Amino acid sequence: MYLETPKKFRAFVQQAHDVANEFLRANSRKYDLAEHSYPKELDLLASLIDGLNESGNSTGAGAAGVRVKSSTKKDQGVRNATNMASVLSVIEMCWGDVGLLLSMPRQGLGNSAIASVATDEQLEKFKGTWASMAITEPSFGSDSAAIKTTAIKDGDHYILNGEKIFVTSGERSDSVVVWATLDKSLGRAAVKSFVVPKSLPGIRVERLEHKLGIRASDTAVIVLDNCRVPAENLLGDPEIDTSKGFAGAMATFDNTRPLVAGMAVGCARASLEVMRELIEKAGLTIDYDRSPALQPHVVATFLQMEADWEAALLLTLEAAWMADNRQANSLQASMAKAKAGRSGNEITLKCVELAGSLGYSETEFLEKWARDSKILDIFEGTQQIQQLIVARRLLGLNSSQLK
């Protein structure tokens, strides 16, 4: 793994940065104050991305799946492909605005789930859809195995019943990737994901949530009431294999967790850049050749935050690099999400504190980034869940042995 941005991605990363500056940051405050209003400016941007994808000129940013397979001689060698491109683009876009990035048409977390688990035929079938992802329910948060939403086979359909909460882009998306259980008695292995078009009878948006941050993104409660979904919309293998446990469903997180880590890295970087400007404007020098203990408190704190940020960045890039090189990255994905989620939130909050009244007011974006960053330590698995997963992986224990 190289520690510099791959040469073939550098122009692309600069383009993503320009988009973040001119489209996202320029509209950041507008849609933060106008919660639940649809960001119309994103339609043009989404059309441009679609055009690049259709022409074959796209670098691969977007919802790329983690599809692990054993290497052949042809596959050998270092690869930097769609996962790395996606993470790098997400970092830049969230330097602009996290909520607007989450509102991007056809780039939802559900799209990542489709890309990670779907068969080749399903990838073609659902090409072009905008998919949100519905996992959490009123009775549980981080324990995805506690899913109560049911999927009962009925001929060539499944009948889905249940309620999902905190569905990102739940109102605006075309379809929802719904996690449901085929047989509660069989535990985690029976949990499958279904692509549910919102045009089907029996699926409805119950309400939209008002939130602390990412207000530009709509977060919905979705109810499934005897919703008949075609059997071919079950992603991946419909058979229940208890020997594999939760592995099939968890493959989705191997892809989405590095992306969420990238969101936290981008948001934190924006805060650090503003903080650096404020420190230098105050007449202080950030000296990398002197011990932090011999420098002013604000400078020493900045250096510590910058070190935490770089650690989060490198863990995130490692998880993406491993996916591109067909290496199992579940441990690294959780490590990246845990480190970036926590560090990102701590950095943005500390920048608000150090900036004083400037950090607390709407004069700068610091207060907004602090609000936006909190969700990045929560969704796609909380901080505590990530630490639990990392511990299990390192100790070689399963979920029943280490709770």
Active-site residue set: 380
Burial class (CB in 10 A: 0-12, 13-18, 19+), 54: exposed
Is residue 244 within 8 A of residue 189, CB to CB? The reply is yes
State the pairing for strand pair 219-230/157-168.
antiparallel
What helix, strand, coil percent values describe the chain, rounded to 5?
50, 15, 35
As given in the structure block, the two tokens for residue 64 are 């790329």
Q: 318 by DSSP, 3-state: which?
A: helix
Do 16 and 92 contact (CB within 8 A), yes or no?
yes
Which residue do the tokens 């008002």 mark?
210
Residues 6 or more apart from 295 whose CB is under 8 A from it? 286, 287, 303
The 10 Å CB-count burial string (b at 16+, else e) for 284-317 is eebeeeeebeebeebbbbbbebbebbeebbebbb
Q: Is 242 helix (H, G, I), strand (E, B) or coil?
A: coil
Backbone angles phi, psi at 255, to 5 degrees: -90, -45
